[in-house]
Amino acid sequence: MLKKALEWVIPLTLAGMVAGCATYRPPEQIQSATSTLNRYTPEYVREANKALVESNHPDAERLVGIGLRLQKAIDSLDSWANTNPEGSEQ
């Protein structure tokens, strides 16, 4: 009986958590901070990658990849923070 209950409770709880995340809007300060971060990250990553390549850093390839993934993550965070979950315009 307990096993059957857990088989239903766990997936329903996870589904509820995901639904809550999809409708949650972060505070205005978080939205503003992610927009600012997203605005400047591409320039910082571009300059850092250029310096790594020009200096012949031994680990440049890995560090350039990290910078590009960071830029993509910041862009995704900004997109989430500034998307209205109800589908209407801000």
Residue pLDDT, tens place only, 2-51 = 666 656 667 777 776 666 555 677 788 888 888 888 888 888 889 999 99
Please give the C-alpha separations between residue 29 and each of 21, 36, 65, 69, in angstroms, as whole numbers. Answer: 18, 11, 29, 24
75: which residues sit within 8 A by CB, 6+ positions away? 38, 41
Q: Report pLDDT digits (tens) over 53-90.
A: 999 999 999 989 998 998 888 888 888 887 776 654 44
- Give the chain's length: 90
User: Concatenated DSSP letters for 12-36?
Assistant: HHHHHHHHHHHH----HHHHHHHHH
This prediction's pTM: 0.59
